Amino acid sequence: MINRKAEVQRRIVSKDGHNNVRIDNVEGMVRLYLHDIWTTVVDMKWRYKLTLFSSTFVMTWFTFGVIFYFIGLGNGDFDAGLNSNHTPCMMNVETLTGAFLFSLESQTTIGYGFRYITEECPLAMFTLVAQLVITGLAEIFVTGAFLAKLARPKKRAETIKFSQLAVICRHQGKLCLMVRVANMRKSLLIQCQLTGKLFHSNVTQEGEKTQIHQSSVDFYMDSSSECPFLILPLTFYHILDDQSPLAGLTSENLCTREFELLVTLNATMESTAATCQSRTSYIPQEILWGYEFKPVLFSTTGGGYVADFNFFDKVQARNDANFLSNNSEKEKHEEDYKNE
């Protein structure tokens, strides 16, 4: 394999699928985020989410504790020399700390024993009902957002592996651009579909130049653009014909062209039926002309197969001599696995 040093080039999507576009100078960004508070909370980083999760309980306990304290203060429960016939709003609540503990016990449904509310204070009863309703809704929201982040298929997409390089060679008599994709888990991904977008500058017929123009790049496996399941490392290819947005690409102008190929795999998780999406991108320096992927799948003596990911990103030059030696090389690797 020829070592090619990638030059520094702007990328819209990083190799691990993250967005490199920064949004700046948006008026009212905070207001927009607050309007969609659910997505904002779900997208929070874990350290902020855990802080929000814990602070929601502590703040509601303290806030309603202060309210209960002022209710007792207004009722004269904390005055010195109270009449023996005086009935306080909350029994055994004499300080702000006691009011906080009463609020905590009420919200967590620990049960009343030492501190409890009396029938002589309707305002305290109304506050107690309001606390249980409001904090119940807040707990449902925060807990739901917590569980939604845990169940997001984003983490499942991290176990989908793309080849670091793309290759261009002939496949079934046609010049094709190929990428390799693999599922790193034993659980199946079904209804898999690989799509591509080509980002490049473009000049319209009216003479308007666009810095980023998007063109669709279709990827196929055999005769279909969709595979039933992803259980083996698969190679998807794009035909470089006249209809391709990469038409006119040659080995000479490959390194001088400026474009970025975004590759996206959409799949459904068999275990949960949730959809997941994994992305990567390739720039011209990461595309090898005249190379093919080395075999990664070998048979074993037990009648099964093994996918050796030591060869997942390995490529070899494509020529007639290599075509003749491919089978012997694969048989050699299979023989090594049988002897192990």
pLDDT of residue 261: 92
> What is the predicted pLDDT for the residue at 263?
93
pLDDT at position 111? 64
Domains defined for the chain, CATH in brackets: 29-150 (1.10.287.70), 154-293 (2.60.40.1400)
Cβ neighbours of residue 337 closer than 8 Å, sequence gap 6 or more: 298, 299, 300, 301, 306
What's this model's pTM, rounded to 2 decimal places?
Answer: 0.67
The token duo for 30 is: 């905070």
What pLDDT score was predicted for residue 3?
46
Q: What does the pLDDT read at residue 178?
A: 92
What is the residue-level pLDDT of the chain in tens, covering all 340 positions? Answer: 444 444 456 788 888 878 878 777 777 777 887 788 888 888 888 888 888 888 888 999 999 999 988 888 888 777 766 677 777 888 888 888 888 888 888 888 766 777 888 887 888 888 888 988 988 898 888 888 888 887 776 777 778 889 999 999 988 888 999 999 988 888 788 888 888 999 888 766 666 677 788 888 999 886 555 666 788 888 899 999 888 888 888 888 888 888 899 999 888 887 777 788 889 999 999 999 989 998 888 888 877 888 888 889 899 887 744 434 444 454 555 555 555 5
Query: What is the reported pLDDT for 197?
Result: 92
User: Quick one: 40 exposed, middle or buried, by C-beta within 10 A (0-12, 13-18, 19+)?
Assistant: middle
Cβ atoms 296, 233 nearer than 8 A? yes
Q: What is the pLDDT of residue 326?
A: 45
The pLDDT score that the predictor gives to residue 288 is 92
Tens of pLDDT, residue by residue over 312-333, are 989 988 774 443 444 445 455 5
How many Å from the N-terminal Cα to the C-terminal Cα in the chain?
Answer: 28
Q: Name the phi and psi angles at 120, rounded to 5.
A: -90, 0
Whole-number pLDDT of residue 62:
92
- The two tokens of residue 91 are 């029994």
In this predicted structure, what is the pLDDT of residue 6? 42
Which two tokens mark 282? 């390739």
Residue with tokens 């980002």: 199
Distance CA 237, CA 181 (A): 11
Q: Which two three-digit tokens encode residue 317?
A: 């030059």
- Structure tokens that stand for 39 in this block: 């997505």
- pLDDT score at 333: 53
Is residue 96 a contact partner of residue 113, using CB atoms and an 8 Å limit? Answer: no
